[in-house]
Copies of this chain bind each other. A is one copy, B any other.
Amino acid sequence: MRATLIYGAGDVRVENVPDPKPAEPTDAIVRVLRACICGSDLWPYGSRPATEKGDRIGHEFLGVVEDLGSEVSGLAPGDVVVAPFAYADNTCEYCRAGLHTSCPHGGFFGAGGVDGGQGEAVRVPFAQGTLVKLPVGEDDALLPSLVTLSDVFPTGHHCAVTAGVGPGSVVTVIGDGAVGLSAVLAAKRLGAERIILMGRHADRTSLGREFGATDVVAERGDEGIARVRELTGGFGTPAVLECVGTLTTLETALAVVRDGGTVSRVGAPQYAEVPFGFPAFGRNITLTGGIAPVRAYLEELLPDVLDGVVEPGRVFDRTVGLADVPDGYRAMAAREALKVLVRP
């Protein structure tokens, strides 16, 4: 079958790989119907050292169950399923606490030798705990929104939840990428009253407004910080959703959060140290968030996607076949595309 491999920075190829087969009795084989390119795929695309052997890449996908190991129950061949980007047993103490990303049996698609999602099929470990059955057919119009349930929409949701967003909240969202826009949508869905979106790409922030942003701040750095403070009576906002992951955006988050407020981060941190000494202490700032335990949120989010209450799939502005995945990476890295849907 065909699948995407990354060989180094800027070097993504679609090649023949062996067809996946169940290796463990807890595995399933899923034929991919839709996959996506994630903003976090752009980090290795930007900096991975070149190697002779490529690695499978991609961690967002949904598809059809083709084969099942002997210990998987509750799923049948032909089922349409979505996979959270982290597989997990869904039975351990962490999973039961809703923290599937810390499951000791878990891991990530497209990492550590596990199949990536940007291919024709995927071997899914701990399939029974990982996969969620979708009550749709193989070419349902909702598939784009449904595939966002593998990562980007629940990641935005996790950011909003951990920041304590609820009815009446006043929120700043930093970043107009697909995660930032998903965070806007999630905050709106949770009842936020005012959502200030910091982003400078007009086409993206206009989708952000449709998702629920009440204000857009296009300025960056000190100017952007001053603008958010101006919009909030000088205080900043009690919740800040940091959806990029750089030190600069984290510093912006700490500068626009209100004293006593919460910064939640879901962009993979491109920093090791956080400036969080006496000033943040004196202001009683909370720093939270982290990698989203997507599986924990699917029962809550799926009905609203199926009912069309939210349309997170609107973040896709380009669709490619498998052969064009490398061009999808190029387009996302060049900011030509917001988020690329892959249709193998």
B-binding residues in A (CB < 8 A): 93-94, 97-99, 101-102, 162, 235, 259-260, 265, 268-269, 271-278, 280-291, 293
Contact = CB atoms under 8 A, between A and B. Distances in A.
Contacts of A287: 276, 286-288
Nearest to A272: B277
Given A99-B260, A281-B290, 15 more contacts: A94-B260, A98-B260, A102-B284, A268-B281, A269-B278, A269-B281, A273-B273, A273-B274, A273-B275, A273-B276, A273-B277, A274-B277, A284-B293, A287-B288, A288-B288
Given A284-B99, A289-B284, A269 B259 contact: no
A94 B272 CA distance: 32
Contacts of A276: 273-274, 276, 287
A291 B277 CA distance: 12
Which residue, A268, A274, A275, A291, has most C-beta atoms of chain B within 10 A?
Answer: A274
Contacts of A265: 281
Contacts of A284: 99, 101-102, 162, 289-291, 293
A272 B151 CA distance: 33
Nearest to A276: B274
Contacts of A102: 259-260, 283-284
Given A269-B278, A272-B277, A273-B277, A286 B283 contact: no
A235 B281 contact: no
A26 B265 CA distance: 42
A315 B47 CA distance: 55
A172 to B, nearest CB: 18
Given A284-B101, A287-B287, A290-B283, A278 B268 contact: yes
A269 B273 contact: no
Could you say how many copies of this chain the assembly holds? 2
Nearest to A288: B286
Contacts of A282: 101, 290-291
A209 to B, nearest CB: 28
Nearest to A263: B287
Contact of A99 (B101, B259, B275, B291): B259
A285 B287 CA distance: 9
A216 B276 CA distance: 29
B260 A271 contact: no
Contacts of A268: 278, 281
A282 B292 CA distance: 9
A266 to B, nearest CB: 9
Contacts of A269: 277-278, 281
Contacts of A274: 273-277
Contacts of A93: 235
A56 to B, nearest CB: 20
A304 to B, nearest CB: 23
Contacts of A98: 260
A269 B274 CA distance: 13
A288 B285 CA distance: 6
Most buried by B among A101, A102, A276: A276
Contacts of A273: 273-277
A158 to B, nearest CB: 9
